[in-house]
Structure 1
């Protein structure tokens, strides 16, 4: 498990005074600023965050050390991570997507189905993208109690009860 969790992404510059357009991945989107400093994935840069206003699809924000439109434009696509220690504790049945990626997925009989490659949220609930042996393409498994009865982070695995034929 990583010590940092992705909480947002810079989607570009906002205006001409160094503000950025920020997409928040937090359950309470405005709380992204509370988790600062936020770090780049390589850990080489960190930013304090001040949200300036809500805009379509996110917020405009000031990041410490960013003063020009050119500097803000250069951050487009940069994922921002927060230290896990400053994030709220999750209830027993909730997980950070970053913790699920890479977990081994086995069926209720112990047969390995694959590994979680990504977690997608298209509005109707999370889907686990699973890739594994014998699969010609990835499989999307709904992340529900019915299909994923057990997530064991300590053991690094998920026990799945997929619908008949999904992994055939």
Structure 2
């Protein structure tokens, strides 16, 4: 399920009046986002070089190429930023880019299909896989206990849902 670009951040809005943006980094080291530039919009229609200007409570501020006014910066609010995959670090065997998990088939430990990964969510308490199977949606904690096997080569996840989550 490899993609050429991986989402590494998003523009949270304008900062100041000279075109700076508030930048939310999805990188393990938030400041590393600048090293992956140019960053692209999802459709690949626009790219930006990034110069970090300062940290702000929980985020970063940056100057993006071609963004010179507060209005231009504010117009980019909500835009996700993507880096070319080859610029990103290789991950250890037990870590994955979310984009690589989307679309993978999910089976339970006996081999019965549970569905496919639709999304990966993190609301502060760890990652959850959203699995769509038939009419049911399953939110599965992305832990070693609940997801003992991820095989990107085969395109499959083996899951052991806690309790009776997988019994529907």
Matched with 1:147 is 146
Unaligned runs of 5+ in 1: none
Which shows bigger deviation, 111-120 or 18-27?
A: 111-120
Which shows bigger deviation, 122-131 or 65-74?
A: 122-131
Q: Could you tell me how far apart the structure 2 residues matched to 1:78 and 1:30 are?
A: 18
Q: Could you tell me how far apart the structure 2 residues matched to 1:134 and 1:50 are?
A: 46
Structure 1 residue 134: Cα displacement: 4.3
Equivalences, count: 166
Which shows bigger deviation, 86-95 or 140-149?
A: 140-149
Matched with 1:158 is 157
Q: Could you tell me how far apart the structure 2 residues matched to 1:125 and 1:9 are?
A: 19
Matched with 1:121 is 122
Which shows bigger deviation, 76-85 or 122-131?
A: 122-131
TM (norm. structure 2) is: 0.95
Structure 1 residue 92: Cα displacement: 0.5
Structure 1 residue 9: Cα displacement: 0.2
Structure 1 residue 165: Cα displacement: 1.4
TM (norm. structure 1) is: 0.95
Q: Could you tell me how far apart the structure 2 residues matched to 1:164 and 1:41 are?
A: 38
1:97-117 Cα offsets, whole Å, 9 max, x none, are 111111111111211101111
Matched with 1:57 is 58
Matched, 1:29 2:30: yes
RMSD: 1.0
1:16-64 Cα offsets, whole Å, 9 max, x none, are 0000110000000011001000000000110000010001231110000
Q: Could you tell me how far apart the structure 1 residues matched to 2:94 and 2:106 are?
A: 17
Structure 1 residue 72: Cα displacement: 0.6
Unaligned runs of 5+ in 2: none
Aligned residue for 1:30, secondary structure, equals helix
Matched with 1:74 is 75
1:58-104 Cα offsets, whole Å, 9 max, x none, are 11100001111111111111000001101011000000111111111
Aligned residue for 1:123, secondary structure, equals coil
